[in-house]
């Protein structure tokens, strides 16, 4: 009996310590590297955070990828991608190649991070596309790119050339997650609010199951427990799914416009950017509880993590209505909390 009581006390103490550790997370750095910020990635090898910036609305020749110091967020360098501005980013850490989805230009850039040069601009041979998310299969040096209007691109990372399109996974693909060890690619089909699991070795769809909510957009995999965490813009929540069976394990309300999502194996935490709330929620993946909500700025878009669990967030700027065709964009007041990168530190 005494032993059981001591065990219970120890568990309570550990739980309290875990809660204190999460609640201690707060925004410690902010920076405005440029206009039109979208996605970002962290590279441990390069000791840098890379951020895609398209420039202000209507601004020509302004596309850049900014290289930030991960501790101070100060801009260390920038890469010119003005010929085809980048929106999404994906990283092959092994080859130190950064891939960009150039949504408006129907292409993908391959950037050598050592030289900071665009070494290839890749197209898939069709007139239209809407490239979005990128994920690298580092073991096989392949890059998968979601195309909201046309399946999933497959790029050969050795030659940085287009290989083929996976159409079997669906034709309105948004978020991607890869289980490299099992050779399974998971994709969000936005039209059906479903998750599609695809065997990249057999070139076959394994299964398709409901995301469990409305407006499914992005997802991350906890490979250790074989769970998928899906952010759902429509209902402002995160659904937890068994990656094998598709069973809905939990629904976790986080906030309006749940969008960017990331998982920290080191902390067993899930981070989700709530675009409509201006916050990032931190979820304990063991209990499914939101243990902390951090205000980061206007329109949080993407979250990326270092290995310790520090989070980097892009916050887009609020803007007025889009100009009509042929109309000159009107000057908008500066959004002090927009077009910023924030660091949520331990």
pLDDT tens for residues 287-310?
999 999 999 999 999 999 999 999
Residue 8 in any domain: the answer is no
Backbone phi and psi for residue 299, each to the nearest 5 degrees, phi listed first: 45, 65
The CA–CA distances, whole Å, from 342 to 107, 234, 279, 314 equal 28, 25, 11, 7
**Whether the Cβ atoms of residue 85 and residue 104 lie closer than 8 Å to each other:** yes
pLDDT of 118 reads: 98
Beta-sheet pairing, 300-305 with 151-156 = unpaired
Buried b (16+ CB within 10 A) or exposed e, 59-93: eeebbbbbbbebeebebeebbebeebbbbbbbbbb
Q: How many helices and strands (H and E) does the chain possess? A: 1, 28
Task: Please report which residue ranges of the chain form alpha helices under DSSP H.
Answer: 2-23
pLDDT for 20 beyond 70: no
- For residue 61, the 8-state DSSP code is S
Between 39 and 321, the higher pLDDT residue: 39
Asked if residue 15 is part of any domain, the answer here is no
Has residue 314 been placed in a domain? yes
Residue 254 lies in a domain: yes
Domain assignment present for 155: yes
pTM score, whole prediction: 0.91
The residues facing 280 across adjacent strands are 273, 294
Tell me the mean pLDDT in the region 42-59. Answer: 91
Provide the CATH number for the domain around residue 108.
2.130.10.10
Q: What is the domain count for the chain?
A: 1
Alpha carbons 309 and 125: distance in angstroms, whole number = 40
> Which range of residues forms the domain containing residue 310?
27-318+337-345
Most confident region among 13-17, 91-95, 318-322, 326-330 by mean pLDDT: 91-95
Residue 5 has pLDDT above 50, yes or no: no
64-68 and 237-242: which strand pairing? unpaired
Q: How confident is the model at residue 127 (pLDDT cuts 50, 70, 90)?
A: confident
pLDDT at 310: 97
**pLDDT at residue 63 is higher than 70:** yes
Residue 4 lies inside a defined structural domain of this protein: no
CB 175 within 8 A of CB 187: yes
pLDDT single digits (tens) 224-280: 999 999 999 999 999 999 999 999 999 999 999 999 999 999 999 999 999 999 999
Instruction: Round to whole Å and give the CA distance between 261 and 303.
Output: 6
Q: Which of 302, 235, 229, 226 is nearest to 269 (CA)?
A: 229
User: Which pLDDT band holds residue 150 (cuts at 50, 70, 90)?
Assistant: confident
Averaged pLDDT for residues 304-323: 89
| Residue 13 lies inside a defined structural domain of this protein | no
What is the average pLDDT score of the chain? 91
Residue 331: pLDDT band (50, 70, 90) is low
pLDDT value, residue 1: 47
The H or E element spanning position 105 is: none
* 87 within some domain: yes
Kindly tell me if the per-residue pLDDT of 11 is higher than 90: no
């Amino acid at each position: 009996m005494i032993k059981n009581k001591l065990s219970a006390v120890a568990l309570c103490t550990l739980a309290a310590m875990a809660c204190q550790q999460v609640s201690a997370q707060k925004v410690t750095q902010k920076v405005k590297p440029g206009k039109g910020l979208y996605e970002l990635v962290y590279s441990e090898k390069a000791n840098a955070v890379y951020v895609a910036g398209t420039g202000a609305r209507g601004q020509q020749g302004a596309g850049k990828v900014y290289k930030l110091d991960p501790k101070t967020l100060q801009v260390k360098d920038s890469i010119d991608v003005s010929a085809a501005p980048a929106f999404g980013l994906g990283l092959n850490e092994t080859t130190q190649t950064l891939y960009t989805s150039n949504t408006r230009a129907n292409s993908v850039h391959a950037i050598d991070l050592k030289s900071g040069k665009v070494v290839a601009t890749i197209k898939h041979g069709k007139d239209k596309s809407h490239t979005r998310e990128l994920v690298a299969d580092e073991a096989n040096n392949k890059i998968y790119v979601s195309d909201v209007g046309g399946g999933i691109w497959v790029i050969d990372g050795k030659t940085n050339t287009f290989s083929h399109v996976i159409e079997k996974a669906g034709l309105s693909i948004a978020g991607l997650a890869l289980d490299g060890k099992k050779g399974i690619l998971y994709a969000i089909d936005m039209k059906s609010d479903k998750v599609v699991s695809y065997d990249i070795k057999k070139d076959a769809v394994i299964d398709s199951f409901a995301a469990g909510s409305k407006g499914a957009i992005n997802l991350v995999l906890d490979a250790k427990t074989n769970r998928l965490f899906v952010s759902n813009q429509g209902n402002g929540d995160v659904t937890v799914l068994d990656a094998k069976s598709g069973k809905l394990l939990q629904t976790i309300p986080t906030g309006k416009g749940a969008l960017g999502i990331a998982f920290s194996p080191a902390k067993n935490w899930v981070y989700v950017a709530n675009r409509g709330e201006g916050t990032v929620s931190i979820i304990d993946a063991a209990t499914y509880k939101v243990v902390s909500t951090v205000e980061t700025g206007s329109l949080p878009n993407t979250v990326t993590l270092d290995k310790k669990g520090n989070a980097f967030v892009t916050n887009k700027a609020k803007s007025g209505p889009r100009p009509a065709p042929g109309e000159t964009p009107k000057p908008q007041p500066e959004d002090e909390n927009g077009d910023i990168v924030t660091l949520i530190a331990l």
